[in-house]
Each structure stands twice: as C-alpha cells, then as structure tokens.
Amino acid sequence: MIWDMQGIFSDAQAITASAASTNYYDRGAAGTPYGGAAAIVRDLGKGTPVPLRIQVVETFATLTSLKVGLQTDDNTSFSSAATIFETEAIAAADLVAGYYFNLTQVPMKTLERYLRLYYTVAVSNATAGKITAGFVLAHQTA
C-alpha cells in the first residue's frame, strides 16, 4: 500500500470514544478565474476517483460497533461540518487488525476546503483499537 503522507487522517490513532481524526486535509483556497465574480467551486469526488483507505491496525475491544464518516467544512474547527458519507455500523467482532471500511474513495459533493474523518463509537467505549486512514495511490487487490 502506497500512502500519501500529506493525506493521512489517522496514523495508528487510538479510537476509544467518538472523535475526529487526528489530522485534516486542506485542499487549498479556490481561485477566482479572470473576469469572474466569485471563486470556482471544486468537487473533489468528480472525475477520477481519489482512493481512500481506512484500516484497522489494532484489534478493537469492548465497544459495540464503530462507524466512520467523511466530513467537510470551510474552516479548520469544523464548526459547521457536513458529513458527506458515513459507513454502516461495524460490529466489534469484525474490527480486527487488517479490516478495512467500505469508504474506499472520496464521494461526489466534496465541495468545501477541509476534509476529516469522524469515528462514531456506539454504546460502550473501546479499551483498545487503532486506525490508520488516508489517501492511497491505489487499493491492493490481492
């Protein structure tokens, strides 16, 4: 797996309770074309898919389930974050080292400047479990 080191959201991040990824991704400010009245709107999810990998690197313990959402916002505090995609709740029994989530590419309607992941723990908090997540060159198929 070839990771984009500037596109890492979580690097073996311990997920013990619901929380945002350690890092966020800054797409940069959109420019205004010559003669335009406003900055252009960019949709990161259109065109060639941008591969995303969210993988369990340490088996989870004691939580009931975990969901991962991709959020976008126009500011780094994510004060008005919009979740543009969220995985189904994955049961603790499946959250073993090597498991990866079904959010495998950046979806369409990813319009705002900043991106992050948000991990939602259900019912009880985890006593163990880590995730590495970010952009990759391509997905391993075998």
Tens digit of pLDDT for each residue in 123-140?
889 899 999 999 998 877
Cα–Cα distance for residue pair 39/30, rounded to 1 Å: 6
| DSSP strands (E only) in the chain | 3-14, 19-20, 25-26, 52-61, 65-73, 82-86, 90-91, 114-122, 128-136
Higher pLDDT, 138 or 141: 138
What is the pLDDT, as a whole number, of residue 142? 57
Cα–Cα distance for residue pair 9/11, rounded to 1 Å: 7
What is the value of pTM for the model shown? Answer: 0.88
Q: What is the DSSP letter of 100?
A: B
DSSP 2-38: -EEEEEEEEEEEE-SSSEE-S--EE--PPPPPTT-SS
* Per-residue model confidence as pLDDT tens digits over 9-22: 999 999 999 999 99
Cβ neighbours of 64 (radius 10 Å): 13
C-beta separation of 101 from 68 below 8 A = yes
Q: What is the mean pLDDT of residues 52-67?
A: 95
Higher pLDDT, 85 or 111: 85
Write the CA distances from 75 to 25, 27, 81, 112, 128, integer angstroms. 11, 11, 9, 9, 31
- Backbone φ and ψ for 120, nearest 5 degrees, come out as -110, 115
- What domains can be seen in the chain, in order of their start residue? 3-136 (2.60.120.1110)
Q: What is the mean pLDDT of residues 28-38?
A: 80
Cα–Cα distance for residue pair 5/11, rounded to 1 Å: 10
Cβ neighbours of 80 (radius 10 Å): 10
* Per-residue model confidence as pLDDT tens digits over 98-108: 999 988 888 87
